[in-house]
Chains A and B, each alone.
Chain A
Amino acid sequence: MGDLSEFPLKYKIFLRTYGWRRIDPVPWADVQKPLAASRVGLVSSAGFALPDQEPFDEAYKGGDPSFRLIPHDSDPSTLVEHHKSDAFDHQGIRNDANLAFPLDRMHELAASGRIGSVAPRHLSCMGSITAPSRLIKQTAPEAAEVFVRDEVDLALLVPV
Chain B
Amino acid sequence: MSLVAAELERKGIPTVVLQLLRLITEKVRPPRALCLPFAHGYPLQAPHDPAAQRSVLEAALCLFERADESGPIVVDYEA
A residues contacting B by CB (< 8 A) are: 1-4, 6, 15-16, 20-24, 26-31, 35, 38, 41, 43, 45, 87-93, 95-96, 98-100, 102, 104-106, 108-109, 114-115, 123, 125, 127, 132, 135-136, 140-141, 143-145, 147-148, 152-160
Known: A23-B6, A89-B41, A154-B16. 8 other contacts (CB 8 A): A2-B35, A2-B37, A22-B27, A28-B70, A140-B3, A147-B11, A155-B5, A157-B2
Chain B residues with CB under 8 Å of A96's CB are 47-48
User: Which of the residues A15, A16, A92 comes within 8 Å of B41, measured between beta carbons?
Assistant: A92
Top 7 nearest A-B pairs (CB, nearest first) are: A96-B47, A88-B40, A88-B41, A27-B9, A2-B37, A140-B7, A20-B27
Chain A residues with CB under 8 Å of B22's CB are 2-3
Q: How far is the CB of B23 from chain A (nearest CB, A)?
A: 7
* Count of chain B residues with a beta carbon within 8 Å of a chain A beta carbon: 56
B residues contacting A by CB (< 8 A) are: 1-24, 27-31, 35-48, 50, 53-54, 57-58, 60-61, 64-65, 69-72
Q: Is the CB of A20 within 8 A of B24?
A: yes
Q: Is the CB of A23 within 8 A of B29?
A: yes
Q: How far is the CB of B36 from chain A (nearest CB, A)?
A: 6
Chain A residues with CB under 8 Å of B14's CB are 29-31, 153-155
User: Which of the residues A1, A29, A95, A145 comes within 8 Å of B47, measured between beta carbons?
Assistant: A95
User: Which of the residues B40, B46, B57 comes within 8 Å of A6, measured between beta carbons?
Assistant: B40
Q: Is the CB of A152 within 8 A of B13?
A: yes
Chain B residues with CB under 8 Å of A2's CB are 20-22, 35-38
Chain A residue nearest in CB terms to B27 = A20
Report the separation of the CA atoms of residues A142 and B24 in the bound assembly, to the nearest whole angstrom.
25
Q: Is the CB of A26 within 8 A of B1?
A: no
Q: How far is the CB of A40 from chain B (nearest CB, A)?
A: 8
User: Which of the residues B6, B44, B58 comes within 8 Å of A158, measured between beta carbons?
Assistant: B44
Chain A residues with CB under 8 Å of B4's CB are 43, 123, 125, 135, 140, 143-144, 157
Q: Is the CB of A23 within 8 A of B13?
A: no
User: Which of the residues A28, A108, A144 comes within 8 Å of B71, measured between beta carbons?
Assistant: A28
